[in-house]
């Protein structure tokens, strides 16, 4: 499928409170994304009336926030258990999901039980998938703790684990009951992870709203400095855009594909680097490559390609991992792309930018042009 997507430039105005609430409108599967500081999680989860909850987390996040959440749940009168796995993409496997499900079964979890994903995108994907398949699907709550998870992976119901053959090859659409993003948790997030999350923030401006992109440019200094006031609005803005896209196309039959802008090459770089590149870093490089490709085949103006490059550089994402992907030939990228599920019938489909805030998806591009653009890109064609 091919198509066009032009977002509305009006990212809905919010009342001046200390919290932002964005609704994902999906009929009976609608839910709120709550964004604030020091959110009271116990009461929020008690409101779901779970028989018992399983808090799934990774080793880093559990050490930082596991006890606090357990205490809040206990104080609210919610019975809970904890499942912790080693931090990192390597844990995003079927075997981790099996262990979570076994733990749930041993504790007698039933259809009224709830899984809580406390962590970044890895935890969210693994715990969300376990909730999707345990007892043919139980409810889950996303408590994202990385910037990437707050603006992207915790919202929209995509859950998945990796196979040796490639990323996210086994998964399900399973919407959470609520997403609670506590910005204060970002204070402990390492700089590199924070910066990688900013790549997804930039993505929303490019694919949906030129106004939002300008806002990010204007506030780049405060955003890079983790100013929580501006972050609250920026995260809400990203979630608003993602919620709008998901409400139109929950299961990626069409327009939702635009959320994968920069991911075709991004996923390939991630895999070809054996995950040395973080997801967000690889996506940043993928977005720049796709912007340059858009300039060649869609007439996207070079001035705007350079604005994207400049912003990513200002956030310190580019050229962080240059050495990794600059060493890759187009054939390396192409090989890694061949196991990516986003191509149809062996032909990769591209999301290309026509102008800032407006993209087209499902585009085919000649192999020769792809390879030439890669060579220009990796030789530093965007350093201007």
Which of 53, 74, 171 lies closest to 117 in space, CA to CA? 53
Q: Shortest approach of ligand GLY to residue 17 CB, angstroms?
A: 27
62 near ligand NAD (CB under 6 A): no
Do the beta carbons of residue 85 and residue 130 sit within 8 Å? Answer: no
Restricting to residues 103-122, which ones interact with ligand NAD according to CB under 6 A?
119-122
Q: Shortest approach of ligand NAD to residue 156 CB, angstroms?
A: 6
279 near ligand NAD (CB under 6 A): yes
Conformational region of residue 63, where left means phi above 0, alpha means psi within -120 to 50, and beta covers everything else: alpha
Do the beta carbons of residue 319 and residue 336 sit within 8 Å? Answer: no
Q: Shortest approach of ligand NAD to residue 225 CB, angstroms?
A: 17
256 binds, among ligand GLY, ligand NAD, none (CB under 5 to 8 A by kind): ligand GLY
Identity of the residue, 6 or 173, whose beta carbon is nearer to ligand NAD in the bound complex: 173
Identity of the residue, 158 or 232, whose beta carbon is nearer to ligand GLY in the bound complex: 158
185 binds, among ligand GLY, ligand NAD, none (CB under 5 to 8 A by kind): ligand NAD
Q: Which of 252, 270, 281, 295 is catalytic?
A: 252
List interacting residues with ligand GLY (CB under 6 A): 152, 156, 158, 256, 259-260
Identity of the residue, 72 or 152, whose beta carbon is nearer to ligand GLY in the bound complex: 152
- Candidate residues 131, 143, 149, 241; the one interacting with ligand NAD per rule CB under 6 A: 149
Q: Shortest approach of ligand NAD to residue 282 CB, angstroms?
A: 10
236 binds, among ligand GLY, ligand NAD, none (CB under 5 to 8 A by kind): none
Using the rule CB under 6 A, give the single segment among 10-18, 183-191, 322-330, 348-356 that binds ligand NAD: 183-191
Q: Which of 140, 167, 174, 267 is catalytic?
A: 267
Q: Shortest approach of ligand GLY to residue 331 CB, angstroms?
A: 27
152 near ligand NAD (CB under 6 A): yes
Q: Shortest approach of ligand NAD to residue 303 CB, angstroms?
A: 29
Identity of the residue, 139 or 158, whose beta carbon is nearer to ligand GLY in the bound complex: 158
Active site residue 256: yes
Q: What is the set of active-site residues?
A: 136, 158, 200, 242, 252, 256, 260, 263, 267, 279
Q: Where on the chain is the footprint of ligand NAD (CB under 6 A)? A: 58, 60-61, 64, 87-89, 92, 119-123, 125, 145-146, 148-149, 152-153, 156, 158, 167-168, 185-186, 188-189, 193, 279
């Amino acid at each position: 499928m091919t198509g066009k997507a032009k977002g509305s430039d009006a990212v809905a105005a919010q009342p001046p409170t200390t919290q932002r609430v964005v609704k994902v409108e999906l009929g009976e599967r609608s839910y709120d994304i709550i964004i604030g500081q020091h959110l009271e999680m116990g009461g929020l989860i008690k409101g779901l009336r779970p028989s018992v909850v399983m808090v799934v987390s990774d080793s880093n996040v559990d050490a930082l926030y596991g006890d606090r959440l357990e205490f809040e749940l206990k104080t609210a009168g919610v019975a809970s258990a904890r499942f912790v796995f080693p931090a990192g993409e390597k844990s995003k496997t079927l075997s981790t999901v099996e262990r979570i499900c076994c733990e749930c079964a041993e504790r007698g979890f039933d259809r009224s039980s709830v899984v809580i994903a406390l962590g970044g995108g890895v935890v969210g994907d693994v715990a969300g998938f376990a909730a999707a398949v345990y007892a043919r699907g139980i409810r889950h709550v996303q408590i994202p703790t990385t910037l990437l998870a707050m603006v992207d992976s915790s919202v929209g119901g995509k859950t998945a684990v990796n196979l040796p053959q490639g990323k996210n090859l086994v998964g399900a659409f399973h919407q959470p009951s609520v997403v609670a993003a506590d910005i204060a948790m970002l204070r402990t997030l390492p700089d590199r992870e924070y910066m990688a999350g900013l790549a997804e923030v930039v993505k929303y401006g490019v694919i949906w709203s030129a106004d939002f992109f300008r806002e990010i440019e204007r506030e780049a200094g405060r955003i890079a400095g983790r100013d929580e006031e501006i972050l609250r609005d920026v995260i809400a803005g990203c979630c608003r855009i993602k919620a709008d896209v998901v409400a139109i196309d929950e299961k990626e039959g069409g327009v939702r594909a635009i959320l994968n802008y920069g991911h075709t090459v991004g996923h390939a770089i991630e895999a070809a680097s054996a995950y040395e590149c973080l997801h967000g870093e690889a996506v940043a490089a993928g977005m720049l490559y796709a912007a340059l490709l858009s300039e060649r085949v869609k007439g996207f103006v070079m001035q705007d390609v350079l604005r994207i490059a400049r912003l990513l550089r200002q956030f310190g994402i580019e050229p962080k991992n240059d050495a990794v992907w600059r060493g890759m030939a187009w054939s390396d990228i192409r090989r890694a792309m061949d196991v990516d599920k986003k191509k149809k019938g062996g032909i990769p489909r591209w999301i290309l930018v026509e102008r800032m805030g407006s993209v087209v998806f499902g585009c085919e591009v000649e192999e020769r042009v792809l390879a030439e653009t890669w060579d220009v890109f990796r030789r530093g064609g965007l350093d201007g």
